[in-house]
Every structure is written in C-alpha cells, then in structure tokens.
Amino acid sequence: MTGVLIGLLVVVAGLVLWLVMQSSKGQQKNQMLETQLSELRRDLQGFVSAQAQSTGQIAAIGQTVGQRLDAVTKTLGDNVAAAANIAAQSQNSMQGELRNTREQILAMQRQLGEVQQASRELSGATQTLQGILGGAKTRGSLGEITLEGLLEDALPAAHYKIQHRFSTGEVVDAVILLRDKKLLAVDSKFPLEAFRRITTEGDDARKAFVSAVKGHADSIARKYILPEENTLDLALMFVPSESVYYELLMTSDGKGQALDVYCRDLRIFPVSPNTLYAQLCVISMGLRGMQIEENARRLYATLSGVQKQLETLADVFSRLGNHVKNAQASFTDADKRLEKAQNTLENLLSASSPDSPLENPQATLALSDSDS
C-alpha cells in the first residue's frame, strides 16, 4: 500500500508539475503552486522518513495530501478558466488585428494601383512631350505658342503683331509696336538638342550649345535689326525654357567670353518666359504712359483751340459793345430831337389855334424858326 501511495504521490506531483507548466501566465498563482509543491515535497520527505516510525501518520499525511490535492485541483481549475478566457481574448484581438491588417493591405494595393496608373499616364505624357520636343519644327512651334501667350497676357492686341514680314522677305515670330511706329523684334529660339546632350557628353555638347546660341544671335541680328524699316537697334531672343536660359547665362565660349555678353555685343538680349513677361509689363506701363502723354497733348491742343475761340468771341463781344454804345448814343440823340420836335409841334399847334389870340406873330415865327 505504501508503494501505491508513493506512486500516487509521484503521479500527483507530476500532474501538479504539468499543470504548473501549463498555467505560466498566472505568475502569482504559480508561485502559490510552487509553494504548495515545496510543502508537498517536504511532506513527502517527512512521510518517507516517518514511515518506519508510525503507520498512523500515513493516514494523516494521506488526508493532508488529499486536502492539498483538492486545493490544487481547485486552483488548477481556476487557472485553466483564466487561461481559457485570456486565450479567447487573445484570439479576438488577433482576429481584429488580422482584419485591420487585411484592410490596410487592400488599401495599400488600391493606392499602388493608383500610383501605377499615374505612373503610366506620366510616362505617356513624357513620351508625348519628348515627341513634341523631338523635332526642331515642333520645338519652334512650342516656343512661338508660348511667346504669343505671353504677349497676349501682357500687352493690348494693338501693340504687338505675330509673324511680321519685312520687306526683305524675312518673317520674325513677333514684333512689339512702340511709339512713332517703331518695332521691337522678338524671335523664339530653342537650342534644346545641344542642351540635352550636355549632361551625357560634357564639354563637346557644351561647345555645340555655344555654337548654336551664337548662330541664333547672329541670325537675329542680321535678319531682324533693320532701322530702315523702323526697327529698334536691338532685338530680343526668346528662350522658352528657364533651364536652357540659365545654362545660356552660365556658359562661356572657348575664349572665356560669356554667351550673354556675346549676344549683348550684337544688341541681342536673351530672355526667358519669366524675364520676358517682366519686360513686357514694363513696356505695357511705358505704352500706357505714352498714351496718357498723347492724350494730355491732345487735350492741351483742344484747350488751346478753345482759348483762341474765346479770344475771338471776346473781340466780337467788344465790337458788339461798341455798336451798342453807338446805337445808345444815336438813340439818345434821336430821343432828344424827337422831344424837341414834339415841343415845337405843340407850340405851333397852340399858336395856330383859332381860339388863341395872335398877339405877337413875329415872336411866334421866330420861335418856330429856332426850333426847326
């Protein structure tokens, strides 16, 4: 019986040890179990040592072990229930996290699809732009369209002209119509091909770029600076790209002369879209100022004419006043003479009346002679 009891105790100890290993999440309860196991070991050791002394102690030990086994069983049940609850909560949390992760992955997939679509559209637009800029004719057309848009935004339609033809047969992209019928020629040049090769070919491409810009400047100076056709002694070279314009400003030829200095020596002034728009705004303000000046000149001429008319009118009124004065004097003299004539007539009528005695006919005749 002792061997069975010892075997039972060993089995119970193993079961308790397994339960302790399964309930690792309840640290405090595990500590209690470890304490109970330690006490159980001490009891077992005490049972083994006291087995030879008293068999009555075996029953007490068995009862104690039974009570402690009940306590361990209850504790183990509580730990198992708590572990099951924790496992259910963990499972629910994991399911929620998995659901959120799935939704985030789907959103990322949609965003990646949108990015891929935008990338394809951008690639198509880039290919289209490269196609447009691929030929010199299309680049020239793009520059002319940009130039026309800037002129339309900055100047009135009456002060610029697109595709102006000179008597020499040369056609400039645009001219700005200034005062006194003066013309400022603006020609669009786009040395893009040589510029694009600079990043790959280095100095050789930069030399080609310098040569292209100088050729454009020489062509504009030769074709479009024509003082005999009322052009100014300068012209504008429009570069429709800010990056190309910046490269033009920063590049020098083999002799160390800057490209913009070379152009200015020819009276050719390179401009980019931003700088051209600023200059067009200044020109527009100057044109408005000249228009105001012209209007003021016309108003002054009109006022001068009004002043002369007023002076003439004053002369007329002066002569009219003289005539009125003369007429007044003549009227006064005539009025006096009329009054005298009336008085004489009354005297004659009084003297010739048959009722009045003629006392002194000679005096009456003398009176009438003096009145006449």
pLDDT one digit per residue (tens) for the chain, 372 residues: 555 556 666 665 666 566 656 655 556 665 676 676 677 667 666 665 665 565 565 566 667 766 776 776 777 667 667 766 776 776 777 777 778 877 888 887 787 777 777 656 655 544 544 444 444 444 456 678 888 888 888 888 888 899 899 988 889 989 998 888 889 999 887 676 767 777 666 677 788 888 888 888 999 999 999 988 889 889 998 888 888 888 888 888 878 888 889 999 999 999 888 888 888 888 888 777 777 777 777 888 888 888 888 888 788 878 888 888 888 888 888 888 888 888 888 888 887 766 655 444 444 444 444 444
Phi, psi torsion values for 149, nearest 5 degrees: -65, -40
Cα distance between residue 360 and residue 26, in whole Å: 176
Tell whether 253 is covered by a domain. yes
Tell whether 145 is covered by a domain. yes
Tell whether 210 is covered by a domain. yes
Tell whether 78 is covered by a domain. no
Tell whether 202 is covered by a domain. yes
CA distances from residue 17 to 33, 51, 103, 105, 109 in whole angstroms, order as listed: 9, 25, 43, 44, 50
Tell whether 364 is covered by a domain. no
CB atoms within 10 A of CB 168: 12
Tell whether 205 is covered by a domain. yes
| Total number of domains in the chain | 1
Q: Range of 190's domain? A: 134-291
Tell whether 206 is covered by a domain. yes
**Long-range contacts for 142-147 (Cβ within 8 Å, ≥24 apart)?**
142/190, 142/240, 143/173, 143/188, 143/189, 143/190, 143/238, 143/240, 144/173, 144/188, 146/188, 146/238, 146/240, 146/273, 147/173, 147/174, 147/186, 147/188, 147/238, 147/240, 147/276
